Chain A
Amino acid sequence: MVAHALAEAVTYPAVGASLDVERISHAFDIDGSVLPVLDDVNFSVKPGEFFALLGPSGCGKSTLLRLVAGLEAPRSGVLREDGDPVTGPFPSRVVVFQDPTLFPWRTVWNNVALGLEAQGILKSQRQRVDAALDLVGLSQFRNAYPHQLSGGMAQRVALARALVNDPKILILDEPLGKLDSLTRITMQAEIVALWQRKGFTTLLVTHDVEEALFLANRVIVFGDRPARIKADIAVDRPYPRHRGDPRLAELRRSILGLLGLDATW
């Protein structure tokens, strides 16, 4: 079972793109003063990898995601998707934000269809919307409006809205941060399953050590702002993982130590 799951993750390497982050620095201008947020960040993500960025809140990891998504341009440095520089947003790199940010005036189905509609290919590809809704188990809610959904359902719709584009890199910006803990546990397993099935590269930002270790192949730990990489940890455990795994507990302790939070552990 474990071996099978691993094999499955490895059979789709062509779907995911590689991501190279080369000497990225970024800063914000706030009231005339310059606030550095990222300082010479370097790493590269292999195709199909599940990659987690972990760090204290406000350390600049979400900013890094916006750069990867192409929503902002870095002050210096280059980002490469499969070797090509990132110059702007593109549906091969789709973000799931902490808030589902569904469009309240669109039904669930129309929200999921957003990407295909924006790219002008919805008419010929409607079945992809149905398939994406199936994937997150919300086909029955296709005609519901966002205000009728629970938080977990809304976030699943946001996930479907991203997946319908068949992204090469799925960018998850603390997507489970606002959900209750039970829904969070369920959706963590769902995300792993989706990733294994689809084989896209996943970039997850989180400040939840356990979540990063439960989901990711590799975890990068950021220090305080301006963000610099403190550690690059390979999580060498097969899927599906168990939360009680002693190896994960060991990694968790060392990561908390890096963040200066190991006193209570």
Chain B
Amino acid sequence: MSTYSASKTVALAQSAEEGAALSGRPLSLAFSFPPGGTGVFASLAWVGFGISCLWWPDIGDWTRTHQLAAAAFVMSGAIFLATVAGSRLGRFNAGLQRRAPWLLVSALFLTLWEVATAKFGWLPLPFFPPPQSIIEVYTDDLPKLLDSIIASVKLQLGGYVIGATVGFLTGVSIGWSRSVGYWVHPVLRFIGPLPATAWLPIAFFTFPSSWSASTFLIALATGFPVTVLTWSGVASVSNAYYDVARTLGAKPSFLVLKVAIPAALPHVFVGLFMGLGSSFAVLVVAEMIGVKAGLGWYLQWAQGWAAYANMYAALIVMSLLCSGAITLLFRTRDRLLIWQKGVVKW
């Protein structure tokens, strides 16, 4: 790792971080810097970002430029203090050391963004709003944004839980019982591959509310991959496990609950992951088209008003939520599937 040039190292920071996380060793990006050196540079970069906010006048009318600069200085100070405090902060310091290259790069990126938009207008307004206008959205439009977040989370959670539960139960039944498989498999083959969004026009007519229609579509998008993967998980359980359990006196219920399902769980989680991905897509489309609430609707509404800063702000929130949901799923999986070796770290 010490053979990388500095510029390469920056580009490789992400993959290097993943590599270090996998091997469990502390990351040594200290090409030529002393320990903590990257922290100092990161701190300086944040000062630079703060200065870039104040040095040139804004070319537009934004109210949060000074607050943004202040926040950058606070960030810089915090990084500096933490770096100086060093090993006294224990694990926090190790985390900081590992993230220092990222802190440095993000400060550089923010500076570039600030200069290219608010100061010199290299990127055309209003399509590329500066950082302070996004801060402005988060402070001034908070109630509406929060309402949208709550609406989205509620809709997503309801649909996902229903879809995952039904999909799991269907998958186990198909995998376990021949007669259930006989009846359900053709239906699954016919309906499953259809993108859930294709149902949108019909669903909004046939369901009593757009909310229930969207819940149904999200459940459908989640349910299909969960069903198929649970099914294949149950079907691929080695007969040897059943033989062992049967000779030890296991009844059929034990074979399903304590053999088939635990053995199928790794597959089930792949299904849950895929279902999560496709249900996000349905959620946003449903909110844009039918539901008058949620982040998808917020995006649509912001576009109608040409409020591009609001769109970016909503996109950032959406990304954090989706990523957070996947993180939660993977944490749960790591906890339940601790017996597996070599699982991917998210």
* Interface size counted on chain B using CB atoms at 8 A: 23
Q: Is B254's CB within 8 Å of the partner chain A?
A: yes
A91 with B265: in contact, given A71-B243, A101-B240, A145-B339 (CB under 8 Å)? no
Decide: A103 and B262 in contact? CB cutoff 8 A: yes
Q: Is A152's CB within 8 Å of the partner chain B?
A: no
Decide: A71 and B247 in contact? CB cutoff 8 A: yes
Q: Is B116's CB within 8 Å of the partner chain A?
A: no
Decide: B249 and A118 in contact? CB cutoff 8 A: yes
Give the residues from 308 to 346 in chain B that come closer than 8 angstroms, CB to CB, to chain A. 337-341
Decide: A90 and B244 in contact? CB cutoff 8 A: no
A105 with B339: in contact, given A89-B249, A119-B249 (CB under 8 Å)? yes
Decide: A165 and B263 in contact? CB cutoff 8 A: no
Chain A's nearest CB lies how many Å from the CB of B324?
27
Give the residues from 250 to 276 in chain B that come closer than 8 angstroms, CB to CB, to chain A. 250-251, 254, 258-259, 262-263, 265
Q: Is A154's CB within 8 Å of the partner chain B?
A: no
A95 CB contact (under 8 Å) in B247, B258, B338, B341:
B247
Q: Is A114's CB within 8 Å of the partner chain B?
A: yes
Chain B's nearest CB lies how many Å from the CB of A2?
34
Q: Is B245's CB within 8 Å of the partner chain A?
A: yes
Decide: A103 and B241 in contact? CB cutoff 8 A: yes
Q: How far is the CA of A50 from the CA of B243 in the complex (A)?
A: 23
Decide: A97 and B249 in contact? CB cutoff 8 A: no
Query: Contact size class for A?
Result: 20 to 34
- The closest CB in chain B to the CB of A148 belongs to B341
Decide: A69 and B247 in contact? CB cutoff 8 A: yes
Residues in chain A near residue B154, CB distance under 8 A = none
Decide: A165 and B249 in contact? CB cutoff 8 A: yes
- The closest CB in chain A to the CB of B338 belongs to A145
Q: How far is the CA of A71 from the CA of B240 in the complex (A)?
A: 11
Q: Is B66's CB within 8 Å of the partner chain A?
A: no
Q: Is A104's CB within 8 Å of the partner chain B?
A: yes
Of B245, B247, B248, B259, the most chain A CB neighbours within 10 A belong to B247
Decide: A118 and B250 in contact? CB cutoff 8 A: yes
Decide: B241 and A101 in contact? CB cutoff 8 A: yes
Decide: A97 and B262 in contact? CB cutoff 8 A: no
Q: Is A94's CB within 8 Å of the partner chain B?
A: yes
Question: Binary interface profile of A, 156-192, with partner B (CB < 8 Å = 1, else 0)?
Answer: 0000010001000000000000000000000000000
B248 CB contact (under 8 Å) in A66, A105, A115, A146:
A115
Q: Is B144's CB within 8 Å of the partner chain A?
A: no
Residues in chain A near residue B259, CB distance under 8 A = 103
Q: How far is the CA of A101 from the CA of B243 in the complex (A)?
A: 10
19 A-B interface contacts by CB (under 8 A): A70-B247, A89-B247, A89-B249, A91-B247, A94-B248, A95-B244, A97-B243, A101-B240, A103-B244, A105-B265, A106-B339, A115-B249, A117-B254, A117-B258, A119-B249, A145-B339, A146-B339, A147-B341, A165-B248
The 7 closest A-B pairs by CB, nearest first: A115-B248, A118-B250, A91-B249, A89-B246, A119-B249, A105-B262, A101-B240
